[in-house]
């Protein structure tokens, strides 16, 4: 499994799947979620609504998959990151769950190339240093990593990019 780092807008990435840092409503929001729904178009929202009708809201740490509408990617994997409100093992574990459950869904759907944003480090205020460690460690320790060809860490802000660059060296 190759790990790649880029500074980019994830809505422009042509991967088999891009991951969305969604919220539990699955109905869109700010940050990367807003960008994905805006550019991806209403097909993504409709698919999310159908999932909600079937299984209710998406719990923190869980992930669901939809098609990617007008985006260059094939699928969007929507995962709900934890809201940071002070250091706790539980929040760390939930952020790791986001990466692991997204990768599991990717494998189940034959995804070979997957792009992740820096989940929870925007509106949800997870500390960037800790979030980067969790993201990289969870991806590296993923049990079925032989089934994924490439994981792309897509950083949007320079601070996250510099941290990942340091850690992935
Ligand atoms: P959360 O609610 O999980 O914190 P945000 O979307 O607010 O989600 O932020 C998560 C990360 O996504 C942040 O590091 C932010 O800089 C980044 N981000 C925002 N827009 C984009 C985008 N278009 N492409 C990639 N990353 C983005």
96-111 pLDDT, tens digit per residue, is: 999 999 999 999 999 9
Instruction: State how beta strands 75-80 and 63-67 pair.
Output: antiparallel
Alpha carbons 19 and 76: distance in angstroms, whole number: 6
Distance 106 CA to ligand 1 centre (A): 20
Percent of the chain with pLDDT over 90: 99
Ligand 1 centroid to Cα of residue 84, in Å, is 14
Q: Torsion angle of alpha carbons 73, 78, 84, 88, nearest 10°? A: -110
Enumerate residues lining ligand 1, CB below 6 A. Answer: 9-11, 21, 30-33, 35, 81, 117-124, 154, 156-157, 160
C-beta of residue 40 within 8 angstroms of C-beta of residue 10: no
Residue nearest to atom 3 of ligand 1 (CA): 120
> Which atom of ligand 1 is closest in space to residue 124's alpha carbon?
4
Local confidence band at 49 (pLDDT 50, 70, 90 cut-offs)? very high
| CB 13 within 8 Å of CB 154 | yes
Q: Which of 7, 12, 20, 21 to mutate to test the pocket of ligand 1 (most atoms within 8 A of CB)?
A: 21
The catalytic residue positions are 33
Give residue 24's pLDDT.
Answer: 98
Backbone φ, ψ for residue 52 (5° rounding)? -60, -40
CA of 90 to the centre of ligand 1 (A): 21
Q: How far is CA 128 from CA 78, 82, 143, 148, 150, in A?
A: 20, 13, 25, 25, 22
Q: State how far the Cα of 160 lies from the Cα of 37, in Å rounded to an integer.
A: 23
How do residues 115-163 score in pLDDT, each as one tens digit? 999 999 999 999 999 999 999 999 999 999 999 999 999 999 999 999 9
């Amino acid at each position: 499994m190759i790990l790649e780092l880029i500074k980019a807008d994830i809505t422009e990435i042509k991967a088999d799947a891009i991951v969305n840092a969604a919220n539990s409503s699955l109905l869109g929001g700010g940050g990367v979620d807003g960008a994905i729904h805006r550019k991806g178009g209403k097909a993504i929202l409709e698919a999310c609504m159908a999932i909600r009708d079937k299984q209710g809201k998406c719990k923190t740490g869980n992930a669901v998959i939809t098609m990617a509408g007008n985006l260059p990617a094939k699928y969007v994997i929507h995962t709900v990151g934890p809201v940071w409100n002070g250091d706790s093992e539980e929040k760390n574990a939930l952020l790791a769950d986001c990466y692991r459950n997204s990768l599991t869904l990717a494998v189940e759907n034959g995804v070979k190339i997957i792009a992740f944003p820096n989940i929870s480090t925007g509106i949800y205020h997870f500390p960037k240093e800790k979030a980067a460690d969790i993201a990289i460690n969870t991806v590296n320790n993923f049990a079925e990593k032989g089934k994924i060809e490439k994981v792309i860490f897509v950083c949007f802000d320079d601070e996250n990019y510099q941290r990942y660059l340091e850690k992935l060296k």
